Amino acid sequence: MARNGIASIGECMIELSGQSGPDWRMGFAGDTFNTLWALHALSDGRPATYVSAFGDDPFSQGQIGFFAENGIGIGSSPVIPGARPGLYAITLTGAERSFTYWRGDAAARQLASDPGSLSKSLENQALVYFSGITLAILDEAARKTLLAEVAKARAAGSMIAFDPNYRPRLWRSREEAQAVIIEALGTTDIALPTFPDEQMLFGDETPLATASRLGRIVGEVVVKNGEAPALVAQAQTLREVPAIHVARPLDTTGAGDSFNGGYLAARLAGLGPADAAHRAHRVAAAVVQVRGALAPFETLRAAFA
């Protein structure tokens, strides 16, 4: 069977954003879903699957329905009676955002509870994507299950992409995060770290240090660094790709995730790493000019073209 699909593994939450007085706008978002959203918009009809676990409450049903309305399936992800999605709210100071979370008992923490279903969801995918947040919400046994299934998908021919996306509050210790993320990198073909995260987690002094360290494990590394150039490393070749300055961003939520989606879409389309990073910067620049984590598909496609 042809490997044509794209799959992303993680937690999609209820997002509260756009506060106006006591009123909020509700949507659905989360780092790995934000990446899949952009990747799906830019991938010329490839089947898209969000691999997670869901509750049977009205919000989970609405979430699955929202995915379906936008051409995204859930594969064999379990639906768990009595479970429900996590929730977060975005507050903005100018364009900079902060987050408040309610996610301790979210259904997504059980995404690896059924190894058979997880394996089935990852079958025949051209690309499988996950993040450090995916790993952080799981217990130790579930992490091992997830990484084993990702490694199995890679051995069967899927390309694996991973963003370490370090969030200290989700981990018991920095040392635990280091060990788990290094293990995950061993299953990875494309790493998409963010330099400030890597600086905080591993003490890297420069993006070059991050690229060099990860390049000993992963064949292709793209170090994001906000409005500074991205550093692309592949086959002992390093190249800086300038970011696009946006004079008045509205909301930076999801910019890095959308960069990842643009980059991976370009690589699947056959572009080289540097050209893919140029496209990804354009996508990220478009995303910071809209509210919330998910830009309209038309906005993403116009930026990518």
Q: Catalytic residue numbers? A: 257
Left, alpha or beta for 21 (phi > 0: left; psi -120 to 50: alpha)?
A: left
Task: List, in order, residues 6 or more apart from 26 with CB less than 8 Å away.
Answer: 14, 15, 16
Burial class from Cβ neighbours inside 10 Å (0-12, 13-18, 19+) for residue 36 reads: buried
Task: List, in order, residues 6 or more apart from 165 with CB less than 8 Å away.
Answer: 31, 131, 132, 133, 194, 197
Distance in angstroms (rounded) separating the CA atoms of residues 139 and 167: 16
Cα–Cα distances in Å, from 171 out to 113, 136, 146, 167, 195? 20, 6, 17, 7, 19
Across the strands, what pairs with 222? 232
With beta carbons less than 8 A apart as the criterion, state whether 113 and 101 touch.
Answer: no
With beta carbons less than 8 A apart as the criterion, state whether 163 and 31 touch.
Answer: yes
With beta carbons less than 8 A apart as the criterion, state whether 262 and 297 touch.
Answer: no
